[in-house]
Amino acid sequence: MIVLDWDHNVYYHRLLLDQLPPRCHRVLDIGCGAGLFAARLASRVDEVDAIDRSPAMIQIARERTPDNVNCVLADVMTYPLPDGEYDAVVSISALHHMPLNKALLRFAALLRPGGVLAVVALPRGDVRHELPTELVAALGHRVLGAAFATARSVGSHNWFAKDVTRAAMPVVMDPPLTTREVADQASAVLPGVRVRRLLFWRYLLHWQKPVEE
């Protein structure tokens, strides 16, 4: 069954790239891990700051990313990043490692007016409200896993194969908040924020910082 497993984080790279605002020049990638998404960002924007608390991940990211990616070994909650300087702040599977309200306020302060916060993260299971989604996800995971494995066997594309570095990444086995709880708490901190459950055990949080008049 392992051969049918695949990387849900990489699957949502394109979705997150689609959230970038027009004329996006400088982006902060929070919890960049081994730098896969930072490298994709680097092909779309002028400058990427990629930050992660893991020395092992940052070392790999520095080896994998191009020159317009600045890889920083630090905690985003305490590292002195420039407020109001980023066109977008993005993150994949890191927000659930942090206190939600404090993290959202921190990320919002880093954005320029009109900048976009876009996050993909893991929710706690919520079978009471999301049972149909869970059932479709379980089936879809296996069907796509088989399709991706077949495609990998006949071509050169990696088709969302799990990266060998994933074993070294910190993992939260039980995220603290359901999608609904994230939406409720985020709305109290960032008016106008949108949170929606994605099929494969992730949610998308999107917010655009108001433009000052």
Two tokens, residue 2: 């392992």
At 163 the pLDDT is 79
Q: What value does the mean pLDDT take over residues 176-203? A: 97
For residues 184 and 89, state if they share a domain: yes
Residue that wins the pLDDT comparison between 2 and 56: 56
For residues 94 and 197, state if they share a domain: yes
Determine the Cα angle at 64 with ends 155 and 141, to 5°.
45
Q: Residue 209 — very low, low, confident or very high, per pLDDT cuts 50/70/90?
A: very high
Contacts of 108 (CB under 8 A, 6+ apart): 117, 189, 190, 207, 209
Asked whether residue 202 carries a pLDDT value surpassing 50, the answer given is yes
In a domain, 213, yes or no: no
Which residues is 89 bridged to in the sheet?
28, 117
In a domain, 136, yes or no: yes
At 169 the pLDDT is 60
The one-letter code for the residue type at 68 is N
Two tokens, residue 81: 């990043």
Give this prediction's pTM.
0.92
Query: Average model confidence (pLDDT) for the chain?
Result: 93
For residues 101 and 190, state if they share a domain: yes
Q: Residue 1 — very low, low, confident or very high, per pLDDT cuts 50/70/90?
A: very low
Q: What value does the mean pLDDT take over residues 116-127? A: 97
Please give the tally of structural domains in the chain: 2
Q: Which domain holds residue 45?
A: 10-123+172-208
Contacts of 45 (CB under 8 A, 6+ apart): 20, 24, 25, 26, 27, 68, 87, 88
Q: Residue 52 — very low, low, confident or very high, per pLDDT cuts 50/70/90?
A: very high
Handedness of CA 59, 60, 64, 68 (dihedral sign): negative
- Residue-wise pLDDT for 122-169, tens only, equals 999 999 999 999 999 999 999 999 998 999 888 878 888 887 775 556
At 155 the pLDDT is 81
Length of the chain: 213
**Residue 35 and residue 64 in contact, taking contact as beta carbons nearer than 8 Å:** yes
In a domain, 182, yes or no: yes
Q: What value does the mean pLDDT take over residues 9-32? A: 96
**Residue 100 and residue 172 in contact, taking contact as beta carbons nearer than 8 Å:** no
Q: Residue 213 — very low, low, confident or very high, per pLDDT cuts 50/70/90?
A: low
Give phi and psi for 107, each to the nearest 5: -65, -40
DSSP string, 121-188: EPPPP-HHHHHHHHHHHHHHHHHHHHHHHHHHHHSS--TTPPPGGGGGS---SS-S--HHHHHHHHHH
In a domain, 5, yes or no: no
List the CATH number of the domain containing 25.
3.40.50.150
**CA 21/CA 117 separation, integer angstroms:** 10
